[in-house]
Amino acid sequence: MTYYTLYNSPVGTLFLAEDDDAVTNIKQPSAALRDGASERDTPLLAELRRQLGEYFAGARREFDVPLAPAGTEFQLRVWARLSAIPYGETRTYGQIAAEIGNARASRAVGGANNRNPIGIVIPCHRVIGADGALTGYAGGLDMKTHLLRLEGAMS
């Protein structure tokens, strides 16, 4: 069963969901995300909210909740690589592509980034363009800027 709750964060309201005791979504809320899910504040979602609160307060750099992102094999490889980017650091799409063994896949990495279902915890905001520009972010560039500033990755 999928359960969800809403979390009012410094970057806006976030939809938090879990299924089978693992986090499946952290996104901006939409009616489509709620389909088939029941609103319930489970112990896991309460822990996720607590950890997000610590993160936004600058007191947490890593998350410790079970994750179950749904995606293709390629997307899962990209998201695993994103999870290895240290707090306060950034990588380019090309660097991520090279790190997963396909240096020509920077556009595909961008697509996987865009489809990341567990934003913030799987830190797709830490991926930037080759020229250092803040390129697309599913949560919007204002959110990406806020998160990178919070982490000290940009001034």
DSSP state of 118: B
Place of tokens 């293709």: 72
Strand partners, 117: none
- Give the active site residue among 124, 128, 148, 153: 124
The yes-or-no answer on residue 10 being catalytic is: no
SS3 track for 37-93: EEECCCHHHHHHHHHHHHHHCCCCCCCCCCECCCCCHHHHHHHHHHHCCCCCCCEEH
Contacts with 135 (C-beta within 8 Å, 6 or more apart), sequence order:
93, 110, 128, 129
**Can you read off the two tokens belonging to residue 153?**
């990755």
Active-site amino acid positions: 124
